[in-house]
A and B are shown apart, each in its own frame.
With several copies, the nearest count.
Chain A
């Protein structure tokens, strides 16, 4: 495994928590994002994710570097799966270790917010009666995306 990677096969969270664990870590948080059956009253059959893989892995690693700079002592690993996924499948895992628990929670939540902002990954929802690429409707910011 790479600590910041796009994968095409089922995600095993334990691999990423093992990677961040070390003798100085008192707390590990693992977030997994799962395919949910119902969103806004519409039943999802399955999802399909697509990524601009090399750039997405670079951006995941950048988020990891941001976390480690903001919360000294934090160590992170992030993986996002692409391709077709069904209900309860893991789309993303974020593992964070830290000497103390506060930073492990905060840095983990920071990571998922940043993923949703800057990592070139796209989700298509497939329902019984249609499908759609999901994406924020933000306008192009004058100063660029960062």
Chain B
């Protein structure tokens, strides 16, 4: 089970703040592909993934129990 959170534009696109994906492990790249398929217009090429509150690379492996977040382009300040 992998937990994912959506923020900002992605929260509005998916209509939810987050959900649980029933997978034991997957790469960040696979997670982004999954999101793009589940939510057309997700824009995976502009979205980062944080795993346990740290930015992850596309090759990084996500394990069951990890807390993930999709991070669209930030605009703080």
To the question of whether A and B form a pair in one complex, the answer is: yes
Chain A positions near chain B (C-beta within 8 angstroms): 33, 49-52, 54-56, 58, 80, 91-92, 112, 115-124, 133-140, 143-146
Q: Is the beta-carbon distance between A52 and B48 smaller than 8 angstroms?
A: no
Q: Which of B22-77 contact A (CB under 8 A)?
A: 44-48, 50, 53-58, 69, 71-77
Q: Is the beta-carbon distance between B76 and A92 smaller than 8 angstroms?
A: yes
Q: Which residues of A contact B56 (CB under 8 A)?
A: 144
> Which single member of B9, B54, B74 contacts A136 (CB below 8 Å)?
B74
Q: Which residues of A contact B58 (CB under 8 A)?
A: 140
Q: Which residues of A contact B48 (CB under 8 A)?
A: 140, 144-145
Q: Which residues of B contact A143 (CB under 8 A)?
A: 57
Q: Is the beta-carbon distance between B72 and A52 smaller than 8 angstroms?
A: no
Q: Is the beta-carbon distance between B45 and A55 smaller than 8 angstroms?
A: no
> Which single member of A80, A137, A144 contacts B76 (CB below 8 Å)?
A80
Shortest distance from the beta carbon of B15 to any chain A beta carbon, whole Å: 15
Shortest distance from the beta carbon of B6 to any chain A beta carbon, whole Å: 10
- Nearest B residue to A136, CB-CB: B73
> Which single member of B7, B12, B46, B53 contacts A140 (CB below 8 Å)?
B46
Q: Is the beta-carbon distance between B75 and A136 smaller than 8 angstroms?
A: yes
Shortest distance from the beta carbon of B76 to any chain A beta carbon, whole Å: 3
- Nearest B residue to A113, CB-CB: B77
- Nearest B residue to A138, CB-CB: B73
Q: Which residues of A contact B5 (CB under 8 A)?
A: 52
Shortest distance from the beta carbon of A72 to any chain B beta carbon, whole Å: 22
Return the 8 tightest CB-CB contacts between A and B, nearest first.
A121-B76, A135-B73, A122-B8, A55-B53, A134-B75, A133-B9, A123-B75, A136-B73
